[in-house]
Amino acid sequence: MEITPLLVLLCAGVYFPVSLSRLRQFILVKNETIWNESRDNCRKIYTDLVTIYNQEDFHLLANLVNESKPSVWIGLTRTKPNLQWSNGDLGNFTLVSKPNASEYTSPICLAIHRGNTTWDHCNETKTFMCFKKGTSNVTLVQENKTWYDAQSYCRKNYTDLVSIRNEEQMEEVKNAGITKTTPYWIGLLYDDWGWVDGGRSAYRNWNTDLPKDEDISNCGKIWMNQIMNVPCDNNEHYFCNTVHINITRERMTWEQGLVYCNTHHNGLLRIESAEDQTVTEQMLTLNGINITGPIWLGLRQSNLFGFWVWTNGLPLKTENWSNWKGGRQPELHLSQHCGAMETEGDFKWTDEDCLSSLYVIYPLSSAETDDGDCNTASVSLMVSSSVSSLSIRRASSSVMSSASCSTIAISRASSSSSSNG
């Protein structure tokens, strides 16, 4: 029997999987290593060191930490300063002024005061503005919180801190708080931290007075129910994560995608819950995943009766959960008959002409996860100091047969240089 790294972990009793969705899994590895070695181990067996997107992810991981060693590596590492909205969208300086480099000593966040934008340290307390997804309404919350606590409050009670995509939305946000006499937070963060797998997450949950502004404290870990930054050569347990979703390299019609994925994989992707939808969105927004236009899902409409069904034969029950554009599923006789998902904006489901050529998204089967018949090529998102690019690394030493495996498994990673600041 071949001795694999996974088998070694299992036999050593250091493998503890847990998940919020069937499409994404967290793994606590109770083997003390430095940050770079932890990341290399995660990439060999799973996807990468874990990215934390929200409070639910964090609590799930923190509970495991509390039951074991009090601190565990995560995929947070020091990078070049960058601009990011709380919802994960990348920011730019067309809407706001760039902060002076000499003023940047710790993460800063954007506030608005009487229609003007101003940068301030994120640990300062201010009132803040939340938004509710699916509506045009924003709410100015009259409580003073740090930017990070405001983010958690908005995500718990609304959707998120308000994020802005254009000048029109910026003016609406300014006008909504024009009578406010003190500054209020909105959802823009400028810091020199990022997630090593390319995940677009503005979640931080730093411990009080952190991150430390030290050249050697360039790696993040969970400690005592919060995140702190420490030297990367500390020895810690570590969290890996694995994402069970792939995308085809080539565009196909819906029928071609169905035949291909049924033959070589585990069928087309079925999004059965809000958690599945969230994981899919997170994967599609990784830095370096440059797919535009809709992608095929395992969703089809009956030409005769008009109801929508998943490819496993189960009907789509919209009373339970769905994500159709416009809030309603397409009806005969105005609809196209194949289901797809947009790859930008709110990632809504749409009906498309079944003969359209689109990329296809599908779940990674357990056989492929275990490096079975299909020796999958992994796309590592190599993030250098100047440019993001795609490079292929093999998940096994075997040569991949293009005839039997013409797909990309998304293995999220960045160059080791990013971990050194």
Which of 11, 3, 50, 37 has the alpha carbon at shortest distance from 242? 50
Indicate if the pLDDT at residue 72 is higher than 80.
yes
pLDDT of residue 295: 97
Q: What confidence score (pLDDT) does residue 207 get?
A: 82
Q: What pLDDT does 15 receive? A: 54
Whether residue 318 has pLDDT greater than 60:
yes
Query: Average of pLDDT values for 68-85?
Result: 90
More confident residue, 219 or 208: 219
Q: What is the spatial distance between Cα 266 and Cα 292, in angstroms, rounded to a whole number?
A: 24
Kind and range of the H or E element at 5? helix 5-12
Rg over CA atoms, the chain: 22
Is there a contact between 376 and 409 (Cβ–Cβ < 8 Å)? Answer: yes
How far, in Å, are 46, 97, 172, 234, 236 from residue 169 at the CA level? 40, 16, 5, 44, 44
Between these two residues, 331 and 10, which has the higher pLDDT value?
331
158 near 130, Cβ under 8 Å? yes
Quote the distance between the C-alpha of residue 6 and its chain's center.
25
Measure the CA–CA gap between 338 and 253, rounded to whole angstroms: 10
Q: Spell out the domains of the chain, with CATH numbers in brackets.
A: 5-79+213-242 (3.10.100.10), 81-194 (no CATH), 245-363 (3.10.100.10)
Measured CA angle at 198 (ends 197, 202), to 5 deg: 110
Between CA 55 and CA 286 the distance in angstroms is: 19
Tell me if 229 sits within 8 A of 217, measured CB to CB: yes
CA distance 395 to 103: 44
Q: Is the bond preceding residue 70 a cis peptide, omega within 30 degrees?
A: no
Out of 275-284, 290-299, 339-348, 370-379, least confident range = 370-379
Mean pLDDT, residues 359-369 taken together = 78
Tens-digit pLDDT profile for residues 282-306: 989 886 677 889 999 999 999 889 9
pLDDT, tens digit (0-9, with 9 covering 90-100), for 211-239: 887 778 999 999 988 999 999 999 999 99
Q: Is the pLDDT of residue 376 over 80?
A: no
Could you tell me how far CA 309 lies from the centroid of its own chain? 27
Yes or no: say if 266 and 365 are a contact pair by the CB < 8 Å rule. Answer: yes
Does 166 or 360 have the greater pLDDT score? 360
Residue 102 confidence (pLDDT): 62
pLDDT of residue 17: 66
More confident site: 339 or 2: 339
Average pLDDT over every residue of 48-52: 96
Whether the pLDDT of residue 409 is over 60: the answer is no
Write the single-letter amino acid at 256: Q
Q: Model confidence over 166-175: pLDDT tens digits?
A: 888 888 898 8
Q: Which residue has the higher pLDDT, 291 or 145?
A: 145
Indicate the range of 108-112, 170-174, 305-309, 399-403 predicted with least confidence. Answer: 399-403
Backbone angles phi, psi at 322, to 5 degrees: -160, 175
pLDDT in tens, 182-196: 999 999 999 999 999
Mean pLDDT score, 385-404: 27
Higher pLDDT, 53 or 377: 53
Give me the mean pLDDT over the 384-393 stretch.
25
Contact 338, 351 (CB under 8 A): yes
Is residue 416 predicted with pLDDT exceeding 70? Answer: no
Average per-residue pLDDT in the chain? 81
Residue 29 half-sphere exposure toward CB, CA atoms < 13 A: 32
- Residue 162 above 90 pLDDT? yes
Least confident residue range of 48-57, 76-85, 361-370: 361-370
Confidence (pLDDT) at 366: 58
Q: Where are the alpha helices (DSSP H) in 69-109?
A: none
Give bridge partners of residue 236 from the DSSP assignment: 33
Q: What pLDDT is recorded for position 114?
A: 83
Between 27 and 406, where is the model more confident? 27
Mean pLDDT of 328-342: 92
Q: Which of 98-102, 287-291, 351-355, 385-389 has the lowest mean pLDDT?
A: 385-389
Cα 253 from Cα 270, distance rounded (Å): 17
* pLDDT over 70 (residue 419): no
Confidence of residue 67 (pLDDT cuts 50, 70, 90): low
pLDDT digits (tens, 9 = 90+) for 233-276: 999 999 999 988 989 999 999 999 999 999 999 999 999 889 99
CA distance 325 to 342: 9
Give the separation between CA 176 and CA 188, rounded to whole angstroms: 17
Structure tokens at 151: 């983010």
Give the pLDDT of residue 178: 85
Residue 318 phi, psi dihedral angles, 5° rounding:
-65, -20
pLDDT at residue 128, rounded to an integer: 97
**pLDDT for residue 371 is more than 60:** no
How buried is residue 359: exposed, middle or buried, by Cβ count under 10 Å (0-12/13-18/19+)? Answer: buried
Cα–Cα distance between 26 and 243 in angstroms, integer? 9
